[in-house]
A and B are shown apart, each in its own frame.
Chain A
Amino acid sequence: MLRLVIRRLLQLIPTLLGLSVLLFVWLNRLPGGPASAILGERATEAEVARINKLLGLDQPLYIQYGRFLKRIAELDLGTSTQTGQPVWDEFTLRFPATVELSIAAMIIAIAVGIPLGYLAARHRGGWLDLGSVTGSLIGICIPVFFLALILKGIFAVEMGIFPTTGRQSTDINATDITGFAVLDGLITGEFDASWDALVHLVLPAVTLASIPLAVIVRMTRASVLEVVGEDYVRTAESKGLERKVVRGRHIMRNALLPVVTAVGLLTGSLLSGAVLTESVFTFGGIGSFIRTAISERDYPVLVGFIMFIALIYVLINLLVDLAYSLIDPRVRVH
């Protein structure tokens, strides 16, 4: 197990180097790089040269790249042009909101998706199967931001059941401990604050859950159908094992392997979906901030946020790989 962890960590190196090179090239070599971001589009050559010298962009590439890596390692990514705060601080301030939203979405997707996929497979051809197959096709084809608008329009604007925007009502002065609004309320005993945050979370989380839910239903269904046809399931059933045991130990344990991988990959892609979802609900996480960073041309925030998200994405994939080897002993052999 330890050797596997080490090998996986070593495999991260080229990926991370690739990431840093991509960002470096983008930052420095594309038009719309730092100089024109600072000076605007109509800068003269001389001004651009001056800024480039100031930022050390006239030095050889490898030196610039080295300094770039050093800055990343020190978490020094400049300051946001919108707020004047360091990018890292802006990130840590907003990241919990996005994590909370992503976790809520993933809980919905897993809690609904796996049982639904299983039932659809066990009652193949029935109305539940037909419904879940159709539903997951719709979930995959509908743009996340369109779904967000529909849910917001129906449940928040027309019916008024849920709030339209934000993470928490402004009249609630919740204590901030972890940054996770729902959790904070539980810790401090301010249950009304927790409840309020939870109500705000429902629509964004359901929206964000749509794609992972659709994929999980599809994969679980396909995977269960495949496993159910295996000899060992028939053996287990024919030797009179309880249905519960067959389902848990023989079907689900094997059928869930590909689903676990998918869940991991989906967790990473949730971060992209969160940008779209948050921007419709003005949720106040990194997604909403990226949206405003785009319109305000706040390049330090864009680069910094995207790099951190990419790092987190890569780390999640690593954890998924390791989790996979825990569930499936066969992987460990290699």
Chain B
Amino acid sequence: MTAPLETTSASAEAQPEAVLAGAGASQIEGRSLGQIAWTRFKRDKAAVAGGIVVIGLVLMAALAKPIQAVFDLDPNKFHQDLVDPALQAPKGAWGGMSWEHPLGVDPGFGRDLLARVIEGSWVSLLVAVGATLVSVTIGVILGVIAGYYGGWVDSVVSRLMDTFLAFPLLLFAISLSASVQDGFWGLTGLPLRIAVLIFVIGFFAWPYIGRIVRAQTMSLREREFVEASRSLGARGPFIIFRELMPNLVAPILVYATLLIPTNILFEAALSFLGVGIAPPQASWGGMLTDAADRYEADLQYMFVPGLAIFITVLAFNLLGDGLRDALDPRSK
């Protein structure tokens, strides 16, 4: 988790009292700020638990296809024999749970729910992480420029951020992703939906990162080590990349981690409303739509995708909170 911090001692001349880890290794205590942060992080049980769950989820998402192949889990295979034809409900107790289908099968089609949850995980994480990267890219570029150059540049960027923040994002995302049709960007089907979701969610969430980066840059800009660098003849780009960026890694990492769960909820909401990932591709939000449509047949179904989303969001939030406390103890 702290790997990027320990490699960022580029500005070792920075002040030892620099609040953010990564500002440089202070040799006096024999512990780098990264190590101090790691010690602090390890003490936070909830954050460690969150981190472990996150690692597990990422592995599950990354290895979704191999896992499905090895355990013979097909997310789109119908098992009509497991569904009661009259009620459309899975046969047996607990939504048709059995050794063969540990989480049961879905009503109507009898598709294996474990396979669909695994299948949904890579979609969900890909969209959430992709969108976060988009937000971080736009937010960091504009935030640093606004914070460093100030003046009218800052006014324009800040107004832009206010404008974005003044909108109900979900509604905009609904209308945007509802109106994109096949063939846009030369993509169709699932790749198009994923690309659109990443772009739409990322595009609307960047001001959250932008604001934080701008504020941090503004306070860093006035610090002595930046002044020293400038007096030695360093120009804007050098100062931004060599002096400011290493100090911005920690807050960016923290807020990116906290943005991921928001984006997971965002994607699930869009898929739930029918403008995100389209069926038959399994997605957690889409599974909840099925559950909502068929709650009379199978009331337990909704807990499978619902808890998948909840656990994922909770884990990322705990990890993010823990990282924030460890890296920036002064913030709350």
Docked CA distance A150–B291 (Å): 11
Question: Closest residue of chain A to B181, judged by CB?
Answer: A32
Name the one of B162, B174, B184, B288 contacting A294, with C-beta atoms under 8 angstroms. Answer: B174
Docked CA distance A309–B169 (Å): 11
**A268 in the interface, Cβ–Cβ < 8 Å?**
yes
Question: Closest residue of chain A to B289, judged by CB?
Answer: A145
**B99 in the interface, Cβ–Cβ < 8 Å?**
no
**A93 in the interface, Cβ–Cβ < 8 Å?**
no
CB <8 Å contact, B178 and A158: no
Name the one of A142, A294, A302, A314 contacting B274, with C-beta atoms under 8 angstroms. Answer: A294
Note all chain B residues with C-beta closer than 8 A to A310.
166-168, 171-172
Interface string of A20-35 (1 = CB under 8 A from B): 0010001000111100
Note all chain B residues with C-beta closer than 8 A to A18.
159-160, 163
Docked CA distance A85–B162 (Å): 34
Docked CA distance A269–B169 (Å): 9
In the assembled complex, 10 residue pairs joining A and B whose CB atoms fall closer than 8 Å, in A order, are: A18-B159, A26-B176, A31-B184, A137-B314, A138-B314, A143-B285, A153-B295, A157-B299, A306-B175, A313-B168
**A322 in the interface, Cβ–Cβ < 8 Å?**
no
Interface string of B260-275 (1 = CB under 8 A from A): 0100010011001111
Taking A153-B302, A271-B168 as contacts, is the C-beta distance between A146 and B288 under 8 angstroms? yes
Note all chain B residues with C-beta closer than 8 A to A14.
159, 163
Docked CA distance A306–B175 (Å): 8
CB <8 Å contact, A30 and B180: yes
**A272 in the interface, Cβ–Cβ < 8 Å?**
yes
Docked CA distance A41–B178 (Å): 13
Question: Closest residue of chain B to A303, judged by CB?
Answer: B175
CB <8 Å contact, B169 and A272: yes
Contacting B at CB under 8 A, from A290-320, are 290-291, 294-295, 297, 299, 302-303, 305-306, 309-310, 313-314, 317
Name the one of A36, A275, A297 contacting B170, with C-beta atoms under 8 angstroms. Answer: A275
Contacting B at CB under 8 A, from A88-136, are none
Taking A157-B295, A279-B273, A317-B166 as contacts, is the C-beta distance between A145 and B288 under 8 angstroms? yes
Nearest chain A CB to B103 CB, angstrom units: 16
Docked CA distance A271–B166 (Å): 13
**A167 in the interface, Cβ–Cβ < 8 Å?**
no
Contacting A at CB under 8 A, from B297-327, are 299, 302-303, 305-306, 309-310, 313-314, 317
Question: Closest residue of chain A to B175, judged by CB?
Answer: A302
Could you say which interface size class chain A belongs to?
A: 35 or more
Nearest chain B CB to A172 CB, angstrom units: 24
CB <8 Å contact, A19 and B167: yes
Tell me what chain A mostly uses at the interface: helix, strand, loop, or mixed: helix
Taking A14-B163, A26-B176, A222-B332 as contacts, is the C-beta distance between A41 and B182 under 8 angstroms? yes
CB <8 Å contact, A15 and B162: yes
Note all chain A residues with C-beta closer than 8 A to B268.
143, 145
Note all chain B residues with C-beta closer than 8 A to A137.
314, 317
Interface string of B192-215 (1 = CB under 8 A from A): 000000000000000000000000
Question: Closest residue of chain B to A145, judged by CB?
Answer: B272
Note all chain A residues with C-beta closer than 8 A to B180.
30-32
CB <8 Å contact, B295 and A313: no
Docked CA distance A192–B166 (Å): 40
Docked CA distance A275–B176 (Å): 16
CB <8 Å contact, A141 and B174: no
CB <8 Å contact, B169 and A149: no
CB <8 Å contact, A149 and B306: yes
Name the one of A30, A142, A149 contacting B310, with C-beta atoms under 8 angstroms. Answer: A142
Name the one of A15, A36, A290 contacting B174, with C-beta atoms under 8 angstroms. Answer: A290
Docked CA distance A33–B176 (Å): 10
Taking A158-B299, A271-B168, A297-B178 as contacts, is the C-beta distance between A143 and B273 under 8 angstroms? no
**B183 in the interface, Cβ–Cβ < 8 Å?**
yes
Interface contacts beyond A149-B306, A310-B166: sample of 8 additional A-B pairs, CB < 8 Å, sorted by A = A26-B176, A32-B184, A33-B179, A146-B306, A268-B168, A271-B168, A276-B170, A276-B273
Docked CA distance A272–B176 (Å): 15
CB <8 Å contact, A149 and B288: yes
Docked CA distance A32–B182 (Å): 9
Note all chain B residues with C-beta closer than 8 A to A306.
168, 171-172, 174-175
